[in-house]
């Protein structure tokens, strides 16, 4: 039973649907597959990161954030057991609060743990698919800001 002060947690079936969305998007990050990732996001998405101003639109986000992170890191995954999914009263919007992990690389090529957290706001589009309309991803405190991996972009 929920209390009046409880957060509006998504029901289990919706939570699983959003966790699946996060997992499929994370697979695009791991593959450095921008083309497949576009379908997850509204074309005018608003996004920002640890040290990035608010960006509007997929192409600006890709060019200013994805390009500087995805090819330089590896092993990106959201942590489903720690993810919270909240749902608006009308069911039209959800917010995922999701810790994540990845591997970064020092200039000499040695790997380091690169954890962070994300807030992602999703809305259903006209076809019924969830599409991200906002993303804020940031690194945990003390994690090196730069990573020097060099993986190719699979599809732009």
Q: State pTM to two decimals.
A: 0.93
Residue 3 pLDDT grade (very low, low, confident, very high; cuts 50, 70, 90): low
Three-point CA angle 114, 21, 73, nearest 5°: 25
How large a percentage of the chain has pLDDT more than 90?
79
37, 28 in Cβ contact below 8 A? yes
Q: Which of 48, 136, 139, 57 is nearest to 97 (CA)?
A: 136
Q: What's the pLDDT tens digit per position in 46-62? A: 998 776 788 899 999 99
What the chain holds in terms of domains, given with CATH numbers, is 12-139 (3.10.450.50)
Q: How far apart are CA 22 and CA 35, in angstroms?
A: 16
Q: How far apart are CA 94 and CA 4, in angstroms?
A: 19
Provide Rg for the chain, Cα atoms.
Answer: 16
Three-point CA angle 110, 136, 117, nearest 5°: 50
Q: What's the pLDDT tens digit per position in 85-137? A: 999 988 889 999 999 999 999 999 999 999 999 999 999 998 999 999 999 99
């Amino acid at each position: 039973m929920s209390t009046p002060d409880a957060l509006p947690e998504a029901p289990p079936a919706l939570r699983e649907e959003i966790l699946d969305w996060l997992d499929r998007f994370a697979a695009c990050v791991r593959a450095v597959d921008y083309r497949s990732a576009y379908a997850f996001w509204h074309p005018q998405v608003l996004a920002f990161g640890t040290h990035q101003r608010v960006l509007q639109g997929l192409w600006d986000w890709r060019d200013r954030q994805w390009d500087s992170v995805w090819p330089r890191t590896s092993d990106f995954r959201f942590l489903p057991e720690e993810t919270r999914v909240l749902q608006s009263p009308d069911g039209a919007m959800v917010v995922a609060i999701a810790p994540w992990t990845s591997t970064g690389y020092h200039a000499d090529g040695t790997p380091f743990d690169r954890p962070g957290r994300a807030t992602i706001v999703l809305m259903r589009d006209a076809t019924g698919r969830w599409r991200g309309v906002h993303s804020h991803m940031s690194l945990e405190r003390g994690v090196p800001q730069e990573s020097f991996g060099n993986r190719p972009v699979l599809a732009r």
